[in-house]
Amino acid sequence: MHFQNLKIGARLGLAFAAVLALTAILTLVGAMRLQQVVDATADMDSAISKTRLADRWLASTRINRALTETRLRAADAQDLERINAKMKANSADINAVGDELDKLVASATGKKLFAEALARRTIEIWEGNPYKDEILNWLKDHNYKLRFSTGPTTETHLYSRADFTNS
Three-state SS letters, 36-76: HHHHHHHHHHHHHHHHHHHHHHHHHHHHHHHHHHHHHCCCC
Would you state the pLDDT for residue 124?
Answer: 65
Consecutive H or E run containing 134: helix 132-141
Q: Give a yes or no: residue 100 inside a domain.
A: yes
Q: Give a yes or no: residue 152 inside a domain.
A: yes
Where in the sequence is the domain holding 147, given as residue range(s)?
A: 122-167
Q: Which of the 8 DSSP states describes residue 150?
A: E
* Domain tally, the chain: 2
The residues pairing with 158 across neighbouring beta strands, listed in sequence order, are: 124, 147
Task: Looking at the structure, tell me whether residues 80 and 145 fall in a common domain.
Answer: no
Q: Give a yes or no: residue 1 inside a domain.
A: no
Task: Looking at the structure, tell me whether residues 19 and 100 fall in a common domain.
Answer: yes
pTM for the whole structure: 0.57
Tens of pLDDT, residues 53-105: 989 988 988 898 888 888 878 888 898 889 888 988 888 888 889 889 888 88
Task: Looking at the structure, tell me whether residues 79 and 149 fall in a common domain.
Answer: no
Assess contact for 156 and 145: CB atoms under 8 A: no
Task: Looking at the structure, tell me whether residues 58 and 137 fall in a common domain.
Answer: no
Task: Looking at the structure, tell me whether residues 57 and 139 fall in a common domain.
Answer: no
pLDDT for residue 114 is more than 50: yes
Task: Looking at the structure, tell me whether residues 45 and 95 fall in a common domain.
Answer: yes
Among 60, 71, 76, residue whose Cα is nearest residue 121: 60
Task: Looking at the structure, tell me whether residues 15 and 97 fall in a common domain.
Answer: yes
pLDDT for residue 131 is more than 50: yes
CA distance 125 to 157: 5
Task: Looking at the structure, tell me whether residues 58 and 133 fall in a common domain.
Answer: no
DSSP strands (E only) in the chain = 122-126, 147-150, 155-160
Tell me which of 12-21, 77-86, 97-106, 140-149 is least confident. 140-149
Would you state the pLDDT for residue 29?
Answer: 97
Task: Looking at the structure, tell me whether residues 44 and 20 fall in a common domain.
Answer: yes
pLDDT grade for 126, boundaries at 50, 70 and 90: low
Task: Looking at the structure, tell me whether residues 103 and 147 fall in a common domain.
Answer: no
Angle at 67 between CA 66 and CA 70, to 5 degrees: 90
Would you state the pLDDT for residue 145?
Answer: 60
